[in-house]
Structures are given as C-alpha cells and as structure tokens.
Amino acid sequence: MNRDPRSQGESSEGLEGLAEDAADGALAPNPELEEALKEAEASYDARHAEKERVGGGAPAELEGLRAQLADTQDRLLRLQADFENFRRRTLKEREEAHQFGHQNLVKDLLSAVDNLDRAMEHARKSGPAEFEALLQGIELVQREVANVLGKHGVTEIEAQGLPFDPVVHEALAQLPDDTVPPNTVVQVFQKGYRLRDRLLRPAQVVVSRSGEGSGTQS
C-alpha cells in the first residue's frame, strides 16, 4: 500500500515542530488547560483566605467573649454589693424603728409626767385640806395625756350606753336591767382604745340582760 509522500512530509514536519517546541520548553497554548489551571488557582486562593480568616478571627472573637464575661461578672459583683448594703441598711432602720419608733410619743408624754409629779409633790406638802386642788391637778394631767394620745392617733372606744359590739367590747358579766334594751353596755370596767383603724385593746364592760331571775351572770 502506497502513502502520499506529501502527507508523510507534513506529518513528519508536525512531529518535528512539536519536538522542537518541547525541546525549547514551550507548548502550544491550550484554552481548556489554561481554564483548568485558573480554576485550581482560584480554589486554592479561596481555601487559603478562609484559613487565614478563621485562624485570625477566632482569637479576636474569643477575646471579645472574655471581655463580655468579665464585664458581666463585674456588674454582678457590684449588684451583690449594693444588695448587701441595702439589706444591712434596712435591718438597721428596722431595729432603730423598733427601739425608737415611739420616741415622739414618749417625748410628748414627758410634759404630762412632769405635771403629775408637781401635783403629787404639792399634795404631800399641803395635806388633806388641799384634796380638791390635787384632784384638779390630776384631771389636768389626764386631759393632757388624752390630748397627747389623740395627737398620735390613739382614740378611746365608746361603750357606755351603747349596744354591745363583740368587735370592740369584751363582756365580763351580764346584769339584769329592764331600763335599757338587752345587750346594752351598762358599766365600763376598763376603757378600750384603738390606734387609728387598729384595735389596741377592747373595752371591758358589763352587759344588760332581761330582768327575769336575779343575780349577775359572769
């Protein structure tokens, strides 16, 4: 089988040219190869940049978290100290209120005590002849004490002649009495008092009942 001499010549020339290019160290440009090389370089650069970002950002982020934690701990310590100071101050104020809360009342009563002392001293010096003057002095002191108590919100509970009220009255006995309706206070043994709306002590009283029978029931 015979071959075309021209084709053999062209083929040999192509091989010789490729060999010469290879010998010179330069290959003919290939678009697909160049594109693959570019993609490989881009992928490598992206991975390298991600490594640098993660490796360089993690310490900074960790440092920020540490600073935030330190700030939170500092605020908690300050809050705990403030609460402890508030607790101590509250306990101190409560103790002072318990010990000295009635200071104003006692201070106002001192004047009445002084007047009572003067009345008693005057009675000792005057003798039985000045009994009326002593009685007037004691009445004066009684009114003064009542005014002081009223100033501090202490009022007397009315009882005499009123219907018995178990909320503010304490019945000590029943006495037959047809002149008043049953369960009416006919005698007060001990006065009752309230502090504004709070009951300090009830009035101890005797309550009437129907006149049937005789005697007093306790």
Q: Tell me, what's the pLDDT at 57?
A: 53
Q: Please tell me the total count of domains within the chain.
A: 3
CA distance 168 to 179: 23
In sign, the C-alpha dihedral spanning 83, 88, 92, 95 is positive
Domain co-membership, 51 together with 77: yes
Q: What is the pTM of this model?
A: 0.54
Which range has highest mean pLDDT (45-49, 143-147, 160-164)?
A: 160-164
Q: What is the pLDDT of residues 67-94, one digit of tens each?
A: 888 899 999 999 999 999 999 999 999 9
> Is 34 inside any structural domain?
no
Query: Token pair of 138, please?
Result: 């004691």
In a domain, 35, yes or no: no
In-domain check, residue 17: no
Structure confidence by residue, pLDDT tens digits, 153-193: 999 999 999 999 999 999 999 999 889 999 999 999 999 99
Structural domain span for residue 143:
102-152
Neighbours of 165 (CB within 10 A): 15
Q: Indicate if 147 and 97 belong to the same structural domain.
A: no
The bridge status of strand 203-209 relative to strand 169-176 is parallel
Q: Which of 118, 133, 152 is the last residue of a domain?
A: 152
Place of tokens 């390298």: 48
> Does some domain include residue 129?
yes
Output the six-digit token pair for 81: 């100290």
The secondary structure element, H or E, covering residue 209 is strand 203-209
- Whether residues 46 and 96 share a domain: the answer is yes
Q: In this predicted structure, what is the pLDDT of residue 3? A: 47
Contact 72, 65 (CB under 8 A): no
- Measured CA to CA, the distance from residue 175 to residue 189 in angstroms comes to 13
Euclidean distance between CA atoms 41 and 34, whole angstroms: 11
